[in-house]
Amino acid sequence: MTAQNPKKRGIAFSTDFITSLIIFLLVITSSIWIWDMVKYRVHTTPLHERQVQRLRAASDLLILTPGDPPTWHRPDNSQANVNWSAMKSFGLASEPYILDELKLKKFNESVQSDGSLDEVAYNYTQYLLGLAGEEYNLTIFTNCTSETPTILYDFRGNFSMENATQIHVHSRLALLNGEWVKVRLMIWRRRD
């Protein structure tokens, strides 16, 4: 029998063990991180896709259709304001991609002194555009081909965007009085 060296008896933390432990912990940590990312995407992707579809459909309604009734901006003599409850859809076009200035001006009458739409106009247009559950901001810019476009109209609710989540923006061009304008529709959800 050979004599054992007392200094080489079971080493508790060899370099092989430490290397194996580090690799094992990296694999476990990476797996947990990847699992969380996959779980997040599985839950948010359908919501994201629905929001983008709703945003595009609302944008189509605004710049391709006149609304229903098409003369919603010209109320009868008994009413000076728009009868929101009688509307079936909301649109700002006189023809596809041609905005009606009278409709924009009538809609602009619903803007309050703080710059936001009155609650009735905001809630009805939100519903008519198919954006229930989403907040929205509709901005129309002139000089849209320059580096500094000018805001012509800004329609928004009385909400701060500091608690906004899942923000989506869709911009399109349309004609207004023979001039190209940019129509930007932005939707988001409020984080409560």
172 in helix, strand or coil? strand
Q: Percentage of the chain with pLDDT > 90?
A: 36
- Of the candidates 192, 188, 161, 190, which has an alpha carbon nearest to the alpha carbon of residue 52? 188
Quote the CA–CA distance of 119 and 126 in Å, as a whole number: 10
Residue appearing with tokens 């399109």: 172
- Of the candidates 144, 152, 154, which has an alpha carbon nearest to the alpha carbon of residue 180? 144
- Give every CB contact of residue 104 below 8 A, 6+ residues apart in sequence: 92, 140, 153, 176
Quote the CA–CA distance of 120 and 145 in Å, as a whole number: 34
Q: What is the pLDDT of residue 77?
A: 46
Indicate yes or no: pTM above 0.75: no
Give Cα 60 distance to the centre of its chain.
Answer: 15
Kindly report, residue by residue over 89-117, the tens digit of the pLDDT. Answer: 999 999 999 999 999 999 998 888 888 88
